[in-house]
Amino acid sequence: MEKFILPNMNKEESITKTIRIKYGLLERLKQVAKENNISVNRLIVESLEFALKNLEKEKVGSDSYF
């Protein structure tokens, strides 16, 4: 798997979406964001994009790709 690197954020159109995150996970995200001097939002967005990019490389289910 490729290394997870936080790239520069481009100004991109975005929406607001409410999600539920386990308390312990949020605390870990806040710590990582603080250590890397980035926002929790940026960390979540970049992590999701990284996960989806790497998920697409593997087959999901029996007959379809994500």
Min mean pLDDT across 30-34, 39-43, 55-59, 62-66 is at: 62-66
pLDDT at 6: 63
What number is the average pLDDT over the span 23-32? 97
Q: Note the helical H segments in 1-66.
A: 23-35, 40-55
**Segments making up each domain of the chain, as ranges:** 23-55
With CA atoms as reference, report the closest residue to 49 among 39, 38, 41.
Answer: 41
Other CB atoms within a 10 A radius of the CB of residue 53 amount to: 10
Could you give the CA distance from residue 43 to residue 40 in angstroms, rounded to a whole number? 5
pLDDT for 3-13, tens place per residue? 777 656 666 67
Could you give the CA distance from residue 23 to residue 29 in angstroms, rounded to a whole number? 10
Share of the chain above pLDDT 90, in %: 48
What secondary structure letter does DSSP report for 62?
Answer: T
Average pLDDT of the residues of the chain: 82
